[in-house]
Amino acid sequence: MFTCRLPWWRPSAPSKPWQAGHFLPHPWERCQAPSLKGIHVTAGLGQEIGVQENKVLGDLEMPLERRDMETLSQEQPETENQYLEDALLRSYLKRHLPPKVLEEVDQDLERFGNRLLKQIKPLGWECELNPPVFWQFDAWGRRVDHILTSSAWRRMKEISAEEGLVAEAYERRYANWSRLYQAAKLYLFSTFSGGFSCPLAMTDGAAKVIESLGIPGSLKNAFDRLTSRDPKKFCTSGQWMTERRGGSDVANGTQTVARKQPDGTYCLYGFKWFTSAADSDVTLTLARVEDAEGQVKQGSRGLSLFFLKVRDEEGKLNSIQVQRLKDKLGTRQMATAELWLDGATAELISAEGRGVASISNMLNITRIHNAISAVASMRRMISLSREYARRRVAFGKLLKDHPLHMQTVARMEVETRGAFLLLMEIVRLLGLVETNMANEQDQLLLRLLIPVAKLYTGKQASAVVIEAMESFGGQGYMEDTGLPVIVRDSLVLSIWEGTTNILSLDVLRSLTKSEGRALAVFFSTVQ
């Protein structure tokens, strides 16, 4: 792709009130330029320039000494209700949802879009400005291992419960369309969530695993809390699999051992090297069960799946020591830690040696969430880029009237639309499978497309958001615009839940296991 690189002026740098304990407003709200209303929505050559566009152009034609100083700052891109502005999402829902379902969903998503703009967006920016802090010892030298998160992060958890961002998929108010409704809401929420999309992905995945096990009595309370709409009851889950030897190769990399106790529980001992959302309430993790002689079985057949609570009823860590927080390139809003399990009490929830098979449901859900975040990142950056093109003047005309610039925006739009439609097709299939409405072809197609979609959307997101950042010129590189945050956070999407080669091998396994039928179904469906 080629981008028209254009000169820019940077607004004067704001002071840093957060150093004194205050929060900054969202970056786009700090620019000094007046908002422009009435600018045409459709971009293209030969288009009549609106009244406000003429004002922008006229200001630039004035002698420098006559211009208002305000007009020397750049026009900020402003977006409104993201649901109402997303024509593709709305047309997709209209085309697929039954009329009665569409009426209710449409009303709720419009309401949610307004809440995103007025309440959730500022909270997301506070999460970025106030990342988690690790407090290892108190003033008297006692080890406390507290991970301190911001009030905005904690409020995001409450909002997630209130909006049913996990619950909606399991209440199934709209039968097989419930997953599609949930995905649409998560898609709108993602880039405003201040990183809270990640713990929601793992929470959804944990609920899915427990549901797939038939919701055993010992896990009924946990399932109810993972899928609750009550902020006081709602809890989030982690997914602790990565150890010192690496992440994807759990068969050879997992060294954590589980020792059975007289009461039937297990004590876990091991080092979890990369645990996302370390402030979660519960988690699922893999470990090797020791036999009577203290021996463990190696390979994937030696792995079992465990459920554990991170803290006890008094709020004390469950024999877990926090070694440190990870210093990451992006997703800094979320606590990612190295944890030492020193006898953590856990419950065996899979058949012994069937841990990998049992946790596969969680991986499928988290990979779909990964794709949702990828498509959402692309959509958000393109929306801002397109809006900027309607306001930014260079070489005597608006960016939207430069053919090369609009060609670049159009190419990004095509990439994003393709990714969106692939994502929604997978979510539609998942809804059918979960409500026992899927035939064999649907199941084969879903198994094949989940790793494919995660792979491609993760790659696409990195390319598209960087291209979109470039479309702002030097302003896109400025930290206080908020654009670099979206770029940094999107770069992890090709890594989390399986890198490109790991996912390629997963696709190959699905083809081999189905003896080629999955590929035949794919070609038939495409045709």
Q: What is the pLDDT of residues 356-413, one digit of tens each?
A: 999 999 999 999 999 999 999 999 999 999 999 999 999 999 999 999 999 999 999 9
pLDDT at residue 39 above 80? no
pLDDT at residue 4 above 60? no
Residues 470 and 425 sit within 8 Å (Cβ to Cβ): no
pLDDT at position 59: 56
Residue 425: burial class (beta carbons within 10 Å; 0-12, 13-18, 19+): middle
Segment holding 245, helix H or strand E: none
pLDDT at position 24: 42
pLDDT at residue 191 above 70? yes
Q: Which residue has the tokens 């028209």?
A: 4
109: helix, strand or coil: helix
Give CA separation, 214 vs 217, 219, 226, 304, 493, in Å. 9, 10, 15, 17, 31
Q: Report d(CA 301, CA 288) in Å as an integer.
A: 9
Could you tell me whether strands 257-260 and 242-243 are parallel, antiparallel, or unpaired per DSSP bridges?
A: unpaired
Confidence bin at 449 (pLDDT 50/70/90): very high
Beta bridge pairs of residue 403: none
pLDDT at position 366: 97
Confidence bin at 27 (pLDDT 50/70/90): very low
Q: Report d(CA 95, CA 421) in Å as an integer.
A: 12
Average pLDDT, the chain: 89
pLDDT at residue 138 above 50? yes
Q: What is the mean pLDDT of residues 514-522?
A: 96
pLDDT at position 14: 40
pLDDT at residue 42 above 80? no
CB count in 10 Å sphere of residue 59: 15
Q: Residue 279's closest CA among 153, 110, 96?
A: 153
pLDDT at position 248: 78
- For the chain, the domains span 357-526
Looking at the chain, the whole-number percentage of residues with pLDDT higher than 90 is: 82
Q: Please tell me the pTM assigned to this model.
A: 0.87
> CB within 8 A of 234, min separation 6: which ones?
157, 158, 160, 161, 225, 226, 228
pLDDT at position 54: 60
Give CA separation, 102 vs 82, 92, 110, 179, 183, in Å. 17, 11, 12, 14, 14
Beta bridge pairs of residue 238: 283
Q: Report d(CA 480, CA 199) in Å as an integer.
A: 26
Please write down the long-range contacts of 105-112, taking CB distance under 8 Å and 24 or more positions apart: 105/174, 105/181, 105/184, 109/83, 109/184, 109/185, 109/188, 110/81, 110/83, 110/84, 112/83, 112/163, 112/185, 112/188, 112/189
Burial pattern 387-412, b for ≥16 Cβ within 10 A else e, equals bbbbbbbbeeebbbbbeebbebbeeb
Beta bridge pairs of residue 303: 288
Q: What is the mean pLDDT of residues 242-260?
A: 87
pLDDT at residue 177 above 70? yes
pLDDT at residue 61 above 70? no
Q: What's the pLDDT tens digit per position in 257-300?
A: 999 999 999 999 999 999 999 999 999 999 999 998 899 999 99
pLDDT at residue 487 above 50? yes
Into which CATH architecture does domain 357-526 fall? Up-down Bundle (1.20)
Beta bridge pairs of residue 242: 274
pLDDT at residue 78 above 90? no
pLDDT at residue 1 above 70? no
Q: CA triplet 223, 224, 226: central angle to 5 degrees?
A: 60
pLDDT at position 409: 97
Q: 108's torsion region: left (phi>0), alpha (psi -120 to 50) or beta?
A: alpha
